[in-house]
Structure 1
Amino acid sequence: MTLWLTRIIPDQRSRDARRDSDHAIDLHHRMMSLFPDSVADTEARRRLGVLFRTESTTAGQQILLQSAQPPDLDRLPAGYGQAATKTLSPLLEALRDGLQVRYRIAANPIRRPSRATRELYQLKAVVPLQGAAAEDWWTRQSEATGLTLATLRSTPLDAARGRRRSDQRPIQHDRVLFEGTAVITDADRLRTRLTDGIGKGKAYGCGLLSIAPHREAQ
């Protein structure tokens, strides 16, 4: 298994970078444009293993892009920002049962109520989760991923929004940032989920799980 991680630091003087930061669909197309497959191919993201996440750092905004093959960074518009790619193979090979890790994921925790429940409480078909309900969702997801959580902190994020280019229909994926520490219980399953992503909204900046070895402070 080979995965690549690309870190892009957008230059806010770039009109393209500013537009992408405001529209999840534009950013999706930007990330897919870095690979040779046609963006119009609905299976391209899955086949290329493309997952991404935007996040704030002390140095400003950054985009983390994970993929099964290295992107062609020359396809970024001139002046878009700084970018660098590295392989994740050493990390994947080091994963083992019992290893303590730090994790971070911006996910789209949702519930799909039954028809009877929707009618009784006047709910939509998809209900975004927040607070304790979202944390319960991530706890279940992490167990299915091969992790046992030790610590968990959740932070609501701005929703990923945009309009489909084909029909201008609006899309929205509510996001919650989950981060903390965990112990690996199934390293093989974890590698698979790292590759596939977790939850819904993967094309729009949700579902990229980041893992790093956790070292206790001395």
Structure 2
Amino acid sequence: MTLWLTRILPSASSPEAHRDLSGNAQGLRLHQRLLQMFPDGVEGPARVAFGVLFRAEETPRGPQILLQSQVKPDPSRLPDTYGSIETRSLESLLSSLCKGTVVHYRCVANPVRKPGATSREAYKLPPIVALSGNAAVEWWERQATAAGLEPLHIDAQPLAKVSGYKPSKNRTAKQLVQHSRTQFDGTARVLDADLLREKIAAGIGRGKAHGCGMLTVAPVQQRS
């Protein structure tokens, strides 16, 4: 399976790009926009069919959108003035990963826990509780370990919430949900390269359809 990484630098003059990146509906708008780059008429959720994960982030040059997919996207299906678009294969990067490799990582994720029925009743908790602070860091440590990584350094930065629709069999009764987000950056040592490749392809945690869960890594360059 080949994974593709597409980097989009939105144009400051594009009203479509500005609207997609604005407010807490960003995740929902980008989900709809990015899926336009893939073929129509697939069975089931298109995001799953094409292995789509994405996130929007700020860089010194301004905002960028990163899109990962199992099918090479077609940039001609975006508005002409949306921005500059570059796609490359991740095959070389993924094949270079091996046990002991130290990597930089980034993941914008939706750290949550699901209290048991007894705890929910005793403390009047919702079915899903968003995590922050040390609880979010501990969540990430568990997720990183489950992804074949040994975290060496963790920097956790809370981000604004994004909105999306909860999947429902009844398409006329969609339920709007909000995803709390934390950006996790740092370094880690690869413990299981095959497992890491699987998690990179699958994503981590909830809210993947709305800009959460995309894990990117890059080997740390060793100084000579």
Partners of 2:101 and 2:55 lie apart in 1 by 25
Q: Select the residue among 197, 204, 207 that pairs with 2:210.
A: 204
Aligned residue in 2 for 1:136: 138
> What is the TM-score when the length of structure 2 is the normalising length?
0.91
Aligned residue in 2 for 1:21: 21
Aligned residue in 2 for 1:34: 37
8 Å contact from structure 2 (residues 156, 184) kept in 1:
yes
Decide which moves more: 74-83 or 11-20.
11-20
Verify: 1:46 aligned to 2:48, yes or no.
Answer: yes
- Runs of 4+ in structure 1 deviating by more than 3 angstroms, as ranges, are 162-169
Shift of 1:102: 0.5
Q: Select the residue among 124, 148, 151 that pairs with 1:149.
A: 151
Structure 1 gap ranges (5+): none
Decide which moves more: 158-167 or 139-148.
158-167
Shift of 1:126: 0.7
Partners of 1:26 and 1:104 lie apart in 2 by 22
Aligned residue in 2 for 1:112: 114
Aligned alpha-carbon RMSD (Å): 1.7
Q: Select the residue among 48, 64, 67 that pairs with 2:66.
A: 64
Verify: 1:186 aligned to 2:160, yes or no.
Answer: no
8 Å contact from structure 2 (residues 10, 83) kept in 1:
yes
Q: What amino acid maps onto 2:55 in structure 1?
A: R
Partners of 2:142 and 2:9 lie apart in 1 by 33
Partner SS, residue 36 of structure 1: coil
Shift of 1:64: 0.2
Partner SS, residue 33 of structure 1: helix
Deviations 1:162-202 (A, max 9, x none): 46895463221111000100000000000000000010000
Decide which moves more: 133-142 or 114-123.
114-123
Q: What amino acid maps onto 2:77 in structure 1?
A: R
Partners of 2:172 and 2:108 lie apart in 1 by 26
Shift of 1:122: 1.5
Structure 2 gap ranges (5+): none
Aligned residue in 2 for 1:176: 182
Would you say how many aligned residue pairs link Structure 1 and Structure 2? 217
Identity across the alignment (%): 47
Partner SS, residue 87 of structure 2: strand
Q: Alpha carbons of 1:34 and 1:51: their partners in 2 closer, same or farther (altered >3 Å)?
A: same
Partners of 2:163 and 2:12 lie apart in 1 by 19
Shift of 1:26: 1.6
Shift of 1:154: 0.2
Shift of 1:18: 1.7
8 Å contact from structure 2 (residues 7, 86) kept in 1:
yes
8 Å contact from structure 2 (residues 105, 185) kept in 1:
yes
Partners of 1:106 and 1:150 lie apart in 2 by 18
